[in-house]
Amino acid sequence: MRDKNPKIDFRDFLGVYSEGNFFSVEKRGAHNPAYLKTSLAGINAGITLATHTFNGMRGLSHQEPGILGAVLDDNRVSCELIADGIHLDPVILSLVYKLKGPDRIILISDSMASSGLPDGHYNFDRRVEIVRDNAIWLEDGRLAGSILSLDKSILNMVRLGGLSLCHAVRAASLNPARVLGLDRQKGSIAPGKDADLVLFDEDINVKKVFINDSFVVT
């Protein structure tokens, strides 16, 4: 039975995503430098996910590959991508896909509090965020965040990154479910899995959303 106006069951939320504080000081974006910490030998200690790869990281050097070299080379690590065409050049989207393959890239929005608002200046967390040119900026010109949605991220990975639609959808569904250890329950259409479904047209415009077979959005 499909309920067109279901009550939100907060048990459907899988958790809260909180970015860590292991950033390059020079590449910290909008993050307060007072909260940053130096990194440790994280991959061998169990790290499996690189937060928005390339952003907030020092550049890749042929003599000092650094964190980028480590996460791109190690198959134990999946790489998040902000595919808005601003945070990452299309060549980088394609390159990471070729290096990591279809199972080790994860699409994220990196949306902030001012996402979805019209262009303008907004005060959040004792600072001004500027919505302009399809992104969020600080007053000093630093890129602070994205206004990207996951449906547009999928579209951009197809049109800018050269992925097949199947692989782009996997990067927004099955791959993150696998990182969370939930791929036996969520992330793909298969017998016994949760009936969480998104229906969209050929231009990735979302038409209907179902959560546990309940009709949520049209």
Q: What is the pLDDT of residues 68-122, one digit of tens each?
A: 999 999 999 999 999 999 999 999 999 999 999 999 999 998 888 888 889 999 9
In the set 74, 110, 183, 196, the catalytic residue is 110
> What's the pLDDT at 40?
79
On average, the pLDDT of the chain sits at: 86
Catalytic residue list contains 183:
no
For each of the domains in the chain, give its residue range(s) and CATH number, in order of start.
15-110+148-192 (3.20.20.140), 111-147 (no CATH)
- In whole angstroms, give the CA distance from residue 154 to residue 138: 26
> What's the pLDDT at 2?
47
120 vs 6: which has the higher pLDDT: 120
> What's the pLDDT at 80?
96
- % of residues, the chain, pLDDT over 70: 85
Task: Give the mean pLDDT of 171-186.
Answer: 94
pLDDT band of residue 30 (cuts 50, 70, 90) is low
Cβ proximity of 50 and 42 under 8 Å = no
Taking 90 as the threshold, does the pLDDT of residue 33 lie above it? no
- In whole angstroms, give the CA distance from residue 114 to residue 104: 29
Cβ proximity of 120 and 56 under 8 Å = no
Taking 70 as the threshold, does the pLDDT of residue 19 lie above it? no
- % of residues, the chain, pLDDT over 90: 55
> What's the pLDDT at 20?
63
- In whole angstroms, give the CA distance from residue 115 to residue 174: 25
> What's the pLDDT at 74?
94
Task: Give the mean pLDDT of 175-199.
Answer: 93
pTM to 2 decimals? 0.83
